[in-house]
A = this chain, B = another copy of it.
């Protein structure tokens, strides 16, 4: 069994495209995924699961229906299952997402932004 240390910065240095989700680790049936983002995402929710966002670099805004969260480097948040949210990064941000392997980025919404093509990096 191959057990290796994963360095976040090194993984991001290999990730050339914006908005391309890549898997960096698996814990049981959960994936740790990274993405370089610079966009306004769509309103969506994940009816089956909580979702974790960790900001590795930059700033992330997450609109909820009743307030707006502002995350910076070293911050995380758990978006509970079923809660509508709209993430956005006005400048490029580096995000770590933790969620069940089968979770779709756009949740309950069909969208051009849906990314089902997950590869390891």
Contact = CB atoms under 8 A, between A and B. Distances in A.
Interface of A: 1, 3-9, 25-28, 30, 32, 49-52, 64, 67, 69-71, 74-81, 83, 98-100
A76 B5 contact: yes
24 contacts: A1-B83, A3-B64, A3-B69, A3-B83, A4-B69, A5-B75, A6-B75, A6-B76, A6-B77, A7-B74, A9-B74, A25-B76, A25-B78, A26-B50, A26-B78, A27-B50, A27-B52, A27-B98, A27-B99, A28-B49, A28-B81, A28-B100, A30-B30, A98-B98
Residue in A28, A77, A83 whose Cβ sees the most chain B Cβ within 10 Å: A28
